[in-house]
Amino acid sequence: MTRTAFEHQLEEIQEDMLTMAGLVELAIERGIEALKTRNADLARQIIADDLTINRMRYETEDKCLELIATQQPLASDLRTIVSVLHITVDLERMGDHAEGIAKIAIMLADEAPLKPYIDIPRMAEIGMRMLMDSLEAFKQRDTALARAVCNRDDEVDALYEQVYQKLLGFMIQDPQTIQRATYLMWVAHNLERIADRVTNICERVVYLVDGHIEEMNVSKY
């Protein structure tokens, strides 16, 4: 394979990863929409679409491994391939978290909401913005942006704690709310984990640029 052909394949796996990220962002957005509107049909579509995200992960992994096995990439190219491998795993897990939210949306579709959804959509909004900014940091090889994205994880953690305490209060005041409150805690936990996985992407950006792994903004949860 010529260097030009290799660079084309290297670019292709990165584009595949970015396409996958767009599908994950959409799944998160639609999962929250299904929850807010109690739209079980939309939630079922998210669950079905998760198969596409899973397939893209494995297809991208196969391409990465083929490049490593057949082309003996240079150190900088190898870091790109390894970073894509790790990021696609995190993206696939984020898709699983979005699928989990969709499943909860189905369980809550026939239930009256405990309260207006404010903090949970805010968690999702921050998480999606973090995801897109982390991928921009990857494209631009921008470690400063990657570190700034990681710092936003504290906002998600704070909202998670706020949601948890509010829902715990509902449970204590009225045992009949326990099941609904528990489901919403699971939603908040999924969103908190999505933000944590974004920090993993940011760590890979630093690895890609600087050649070392740096654990950033370790979650309290």
The pLDDT score that the predictor gives to residue 220 is: 46
Task: Tell me whether residue 220 is in a domain.
Answer: no
DSSP 170: H
User: Is 215 domain-assigned?
Assistant: no
Evaluate if residue 124 carries a pLDDT over 70: yes
What is the chain's mean pLDDT, rounded? Answer: 94
For the chain, how many structural domains are there in total?
1
pLDDT digits (tens, 9 = 90+) for 35-77: 999 999 999 999 999 999 999 999 999 999 999 888 888 888 9
Q: Is position 221 within any domain?
A: no
Give the pLDDT confidence of 129-185 residue by residue, as tens digits: 999 999 999 999 999 999 999 999 999 999 999 999 999 999 999 999 999 999 999
Judge contact between 53 and 82, C-beta under 8 A: no
216 occurs within a structural domain? no
Give the structural domain span for 206: 3-210
Residue 220, exposed/middle/buried by CB under 10 A (0-12, 13-18, 19+)? exposed
pLDDT tens column, 207-216: 999 988 888 8
| pLDDT classification of 217: cutoffs 50, 70, 90 | low
Evaluate whether residue 110 is within a structural domain: yes
Does 97 have pLDDT greater than 90? yes
Q: Which of 82, 63, 69, 61 is nearest to 8 (CA)?
A: 63
State yes or no: pLDDT of 221 exceeds 70: no
**Distance, CA of 42 to CA of 39 (rounded, Å):** 6
Quick check: is 184 in a domain? yes
Predicted local confidence at residue 1, as pLDDT: 60
Instruction: Kindly write down the DSSP assignment for every residue of 69-83, as one continuous string.
Output: HHH---HHHHHHHHH
Residue 27 belongs to domain with CATH number: 1.20.58.220
Q: Is residue 219 part of a domain?
A: no
- pTM (2 d.p.): 0.93
pLDDT of residue 105: 98
